[in-house]
Amino acid sequence: MTGGVGADTVRAMTVDVDTCREHFIEHFGYDPDGAVAAPGRVNLIGEHTDYNDGFVLPIAIERETVAVFGPRDDSIVQFVSTSTDEPDEIDLDAPIAPGELTWANYCRGVAAGLVGWGLRPHGCDVLVSSDVPLGGGLSSSASLEVAVALALLNGEVDAMPPGELAKICQTAEHEFAGTPCGIMDQSIAIMGQAGRALLLDCRTGETRQVHFDNPDLVLLVADTEVKHELSEGGYAARRQQCYDAAAKLGVAMLRDADAESVAAAGTDGTLTDKELMRARHVVGEIARTLAAVDALEAGDYHRFGELMVASHESLRDDYEVSCDELDAIVELACACEGVYGARMTGGGFGGCAIILATAGAADRVSETVAAGYGERFGSACPIFATRAAGGARRVL
C-alpha cells in the first residue's frame, strides 16, 4: 500500500512483461503483437453470497496474469504457460471441448464462449504467466480466463460489454473446469478500479465503486498454502443446501429471505440443521456486506473490522468452510495492536485470510502472524500487502 507500509513488509509481486515477451519469442520464434493483464482478487466481505443472488465487495489485487499474444495465418490457437511444459492447441474451425490439461481448459472454455457469443477470434499464439497464488482463494482461474479472453480479442479491452465478458468467463469455468462459481471473480478482474472496492449486486449485475484508498491503512493477505480435500465436494454441497433452504422458505433465492424467517423455519423444523446454518450465514453475510459499505464510506474502520470478524465467525461456525490454519491467522492477527479485523477470504477449506491494519503496524503484524503460524503448524505463511488495483488492461 502507499503511504507508510514499512520497507520490510513483503510487497505484492508483478509479472515482468518484458520477460514474458522474451519467453514468447523463445517459444514461438517471433515478436508478439501485444500483451494484456488481468488481476487476481480478494473479497473484503460477502462470502458465499454470490450464487445466492446476494452482494459481494471484492478488490482487484496487485498480482495478475499476463497473456502475451501474436497472430497466426490459420485457425489454430496455441496456449503455453511459463509454469508448465505442457502446451495446448485448439482449432477455432472445429468444435471446442475440454481437454486433458486442467489449466488449459480454462483457456479452451473462454475460446468456446467467444465463438458462441458470435465473435470470431483469429488464430493466434498465447503465452501466459501469473503470480496469483494457485489454490489460494485469490481467483487465479478468473485472472487467467479474463487475460486469455482479451488476448483472443487481440487486446481490445472494449470489444464487448464487461458484464457479457464476465459471463463468458464464468461459463468457461462452469462447463470446462467443472466449478460452479458465481460471477464475482470474473467481474472484479474486468471492472476493478485502483483505490476502489466493487460492490456487486449478483442478481442484477449493478455495480458501485466504493472508496478503499486510505493511505493510513494496509490490507495484508496471508496464504495458508493449504487446500483441504473437502473443498470440491463441500462447495457443491453447500450450494445445494442453500437452494434447498430457499425452496423451503418459499423464496427464489436466499437473497430474498430475512433473519426472522430463517430463525422461525429453524425453530419449527422447516429447515434441517445444516440448511438453517447455511441460510443463517448467507442472510447475515448479505446484511454485513451492505453494512460494511456504509462503514467504509463513513471512514469507520473499527466497524468494518468488526464486520470482518463476524463474517469469519459465521463462515467458521454456520457455513463450516474455515479450517485450523485460517482460524489461527485470524486469531493471531486480531491479537495485534493496530489491527482492525481479519477474516478468511475465498471459498474456504484453506487458501488465504486478509487482515486490515494501520499502515504503521503492517510489518509487526506480518512478523507476529508468520511466527505464530510457524510455531503452530511448522510451515511458512507467506504474507503480502496489496492495495486495490485496476482491472484488466493492455500492457504491451
Give the active site residues. 185
| Distance, CA of 156 to CA of 170 (rounded, Å) | 19
Is the distance from CB of 169 to CB of 160 less than 8 angstroms?
Answer: no
Task: Scan for cell 473446469, then name that residue.
Answer: 177
